[in-house]
Chain A
Amino acid sequence: MSTIVIGLSMGMLLFLLAAGLTLIFGMLRVINFAHGSLYMLGAYLAFQVVNITGSFWAGLIAAPIIAAIVGALMERIALRPVYNRDHVYQLLLTFGFILVIDEAVRIIWGLEYKQMYPPELFSGAIEMFGSSVPSYRLFIIGFGAAVSAGLFFMLDRSRYGMIIRAASGDPEMVRTLGINVSLVRTGVFSFGAGLAALGGAVAGPLFPIELGMGFNIIIDSFIVVIIGGLGNIRGAVLAALLIGMTRALGYSYAPSWVDFLTFILLIGTLILRPEGLFSRKGRTA
């Protein structure tokens, strides 16, 4: 039972990152290498806000907002000038941002591990089906499910979602219809950055907050978006749960093979279905 809870919570966490990655890719055709750094930045920001205000919830709200501003600046200053070039340049720019963000975090917070604690409300454990489960994990599952439901609602039902879907399909046409596409791009990138930081803030009480945390999770998120199909957010949900469960099962039965299992999933997908396991034609977001 606890394996399932760990797997689901891990999957939800991965989904928060992968959703941002895949939205950004769908809209901008950019693979954001710096996504892991934004996740790490989110965790540090949450840690800082919690330290100042003493409230976990303040951190959970503030971290994504600050990271979204950072994301908007990244897009405006660096990515916008190179949209007309080969996509490789955009990827390289986001790689440059890894170095800059990591350094900034090192300057501000130093090298020591930071520790965050779950909020009062979810600090205990709950008895479920004969095994005890940390209630914070359950919170992550619920929170992740709520965020993804909200995300789907926004993408499928709201006017903004319609614009995003249309603009990732045919930006020229959307521009002709009088919508400021470059603003939409900034918005999507910034939103994705905010999601990554939200993931970081949620993960704060689970893992030690450290400089390497971004890279450890970014590879998993890449695997999720590739397995789910780049730009396919529905695929990302399933793939995130798949990877989360694989990790959790792996940790309890064969801990030293966990990384191999996920990589084998990835390589298998790329060989058999490079467009992703859950891809459907004609869907971008």
Chain B
Amino acid sequence: MNAQRLMALVVAIIISVPLMFPDGQNVGLVNAILIWSIFAIGFDLVFGVAGMLSFGHAAFFGVGAYTLSLLTMRMGWDFIPALGAAGLVGGALALVFSYFAIRVSGLFFALLTLALSQLIYIMAGTKLRMLTGGVDGIAGVPRPDLFGIDFYNDSNYYFFLLTLFVLALLISGLIRISPLGQALKAIKSNEVRAEQIGFNVQRLQRSVFTISGIYAGVSGGLLASLIFYVGPQMLHWKTSGDVVIMVLLGGMGTLFGPILGVAIFEIMREWLSTQTSHWYGILGLIFIISTIAMPKGIAGMIIQLWNRIMPGSKP
């Protein structure tokens, strides 16, 4: 057993709560954790693995949500192909963004992705009002209709989400150990060197950004179906900020860290918002403190603690 497995165990416990306590109390929370985790896992491919801070992921997330809603509600598509389309549209938009944004790096990249996603947000609220319902959004987004199972029951929908979550985690794990993942790590640690070795840096960055956009699009579509609603606030920069906080809190660049971050974020949202209406400010404070005190997040802390308790075990 090592720290990596310990984290996997913690994640497994969190997501299997509805199995252990099937009274349906926590299932809504776990469903939200599963969906946001898919978003965070995909975001960390760009942020943690490739080292690019994007502040525009809300655009892919929100566009995925709108795609799913419009295709199922207006065009009469089935849920599964519409969810696939949500991922594709999210990925396509990410590809478009990347053509602009990858020309610049570092802080400029963060600013440009922010500006581009804000453009989408403004468009959804004004120009595309016919399509998106403007600030009111679209209510009544459906859930899948498969094998005669009633997915409108949260406990049943949990299994559907769990399947997709495991799939997303597997794919992300494979990407991390694949040549693509290795090349991205090389780019993150030294872009110039990676280019000199012969990697096509921009193309690799574009690929991972697109993959991450697909993750965001799918999770956005899922969230719309979970809460039966899609609105422009899903496209808002605060959504981009949320996913950044989640990933940094949990531990960027690790496979399980982002999921821990999502779990803590969502549990806090659930718990703090019943205690005080100022939970977002408290979240900001926690984020500031944790960024200063533990830059590698909870995952980094667990690894450190584990190595202290178990010296000699492999990290």
Q: Tell me the bound Cα distance from A100 to B282 in angstroms.
A: 7
Q: Bin chain B's interface residue count.
A: 35 or more
Pairwise interchain contact B53-A88, C-beta atoms closer than 8 A: yes
Minimum distance in angstroms from B158 CB to a CB of chain A:
30
Pairwise interchain contact A260-B119, C-beta atoms closer than 8 A: yes
Contact with A along B237-273 (1 / 0, CB 8 A): 1000100110010000000000000000000000000
Which residues of the partner chain B approach A282 to less than 8 Å between Cβ atoms? none
A231-279 contacts to B (CB < 8 Å): 256, 259-260, 263, 266-267, 270-271, 274
Please choose the segment from A42-50, A63-71, A89-97, A149-157 that sits at the chain B interface, where 4 or more of its residues have CB less than 8 A away. A89-97
Closest chain A residue to B283, Cβ basis: A99
Contact with A along B216-243 (1 / 0, CB 8 A): 0000000000000000000001000100
Q: Tell me the bound Cα distance from A259 to B116 in angstroms.
A: 11
Q: Check: B133 CB closer than 8 A to any chain A CB.
A: no
Which residues of the partner chain B approach A81 to less than 8 Å between Cβ atoms? 292
Chain A residues bordering chain B, tally (CB within 8 A): 37
Closest chain B residue to A259, Cβ basis: B122
Q: Check: B200 CB closer than 8 A to any chain A CB.
A: no
Supposing A103-B280, A271-B100 touch, asked if A219 and B115 sit within 8 A by C-beta, the answer is: yes
Q: Tell me the bound Cα distance from A263 to B111 in angstroms.
A: 12
The dominant DSSP class at the B interface is: helix
Pairwise interchain contact B292-A78, C-beta atoms closer than 8 A: yes
Pairwise interchain contact A103-B106, C-beta atoms closer than 8 A: no
Supposing A99-B281, A256-B127 touch, asked if A226 and B248 sit within 8 A by C-beta, the answer is: no
Q: Check: A98 CB closer than 8 A to any chain B CB.
A: yes
Q: Check: A82 CB closer than 8 A to any chain B CB.
A: yes
Q: Check: A62 CB closer than 8 A to any chain B CB.
A: no
Q: Tell me the bound Cα distance from A102 to B103 in angstroms.
A: 33
Which residues of the partner chain A approach B241 to less than 8 Å between Cβ atoms? 95, 98-99
Closest chain B residue to A105, Cβ basis: B281
Closest chain B residue to A103, Cβ basis: B281
Which residues of the partner chain B approach A281 to less than 8 Å between Cβ atoms? none
Closest chain A residue to B122, Cβ basis: A259
Q: Tell me the bound Cα distance from A219 to B111 in angstroms.
A: 9
Contact with A along B160-196 (1 / 0, CB 8 A): 0000000000000000000000000000000000000
Pairwise interchain contact A271-B281, C-beta atoms closer than 8 A: no
Q: Check: A106 CB closer than 8 A to any chain B CB.
A: yes
Contact with B along A16-50 (1 / 0, CB 8 A): 00000000000000010000000000000000000
Pairwise interchain contact A82-B292, C-beta atoms closer than 8 A: yes
Contact with A along B88-112 (1 / 0, CB 8 A): 0000000000001001101110111
Which residues of the partner chain A approach B53 to less than 8 Å between Cβ atoms? 88, 91-92
Q: Check: A223 CB closer than 8 A to any chain B CB.
A: yes
Q: Tell me the bound Cα distance from A89 to B293 in angstroms.
A: 12
Which residues of the partner chain B approach A56 to less than 8 Å between Cβ atoms? none
Q: Check: B287 CB closer than 8 A to any chain A CB.
A: yes
Contact with A along B298-313 (1 / 0, CB 8 A): 0000000000000000
Pairwise interchain contact B281-A92, C-beta atoms closer than 8 A: no
Which residues of the partner chain A approach B245 to less than 8 Å between Cβ atoms? 96
Supposing A96-B288, A96-B291 touch, asked if A87 and B106 sit within 8 A by C-beta, the answer is: yes
Q: Check: B315 CB closer than 8 A to any chain A CB.
A: no
Pairwise interchain contact B284-A97, C-beta atoms closer than 8 A: yes
B118 touches which of A82, A89, A96, A219 (Cβ 8 Å): A219
Which residues of the partner chain B approach A100 to less than 8 Å between Cβ atoms? 281, 284-285, 288
Pairwise interchain contact B287-A31, C-beta atoms closer than 8 A: no
Contact with B along A97-122 (1 / 0, CB 8 A): 11110111011000000000000000
Which residues of the partner chain A approach B110 to less than 8 Å between Cβ atoms? 31, 88, 91
Q: Check: A222 CB closer than 8 A to any chain B CB.
A: yes
Q: Check: A215 CB closer than 8 A to any chain B CB.
A: yes
Which residues of the partner chain B approach A92 to less than 8 Å between Cβ atoms? 53, 244, 248, 287, 291
Which residues of the partner chain B approach A91 to less than 8 Å between Cβ atoms? 53, 107, 110
Pairwise interchain contact B111-A88, C-beta atoms closer than 8 A: no
Contact with A along B118-145 (1 / 0, CB 8 A): 1100100011000000000000000000
Minimum distance in angstroms from B288 CB to a CB of chain A:
4
Supposing A91-B53, A98-B284, A100-B285 touch, asked if A223 and B103 sit within 8 A by C-beta, the answer is: no
A82 touches which of B122, B126, B248, B291 (Cβ 8 Å): B291
A177-221 contacts to B (CB < 8 Å): 215, 219
Q: Check: B295 CB closer than 8 A to any chain A CB.
A: yes
A106 touches which of B103, B104, B116, B278 (Cβ 8 Å): B278
Q: Tell me the bound Cα distance from A248 to B280 in angstroms.
A: 35
**Across the A-B interface, the 8 shortest Cβ-Cβ residue pairs:** A103-B281, A99-B284, A96-B288, A100-B284, A96-B287, A88-B53, A96-B284, A263-B119
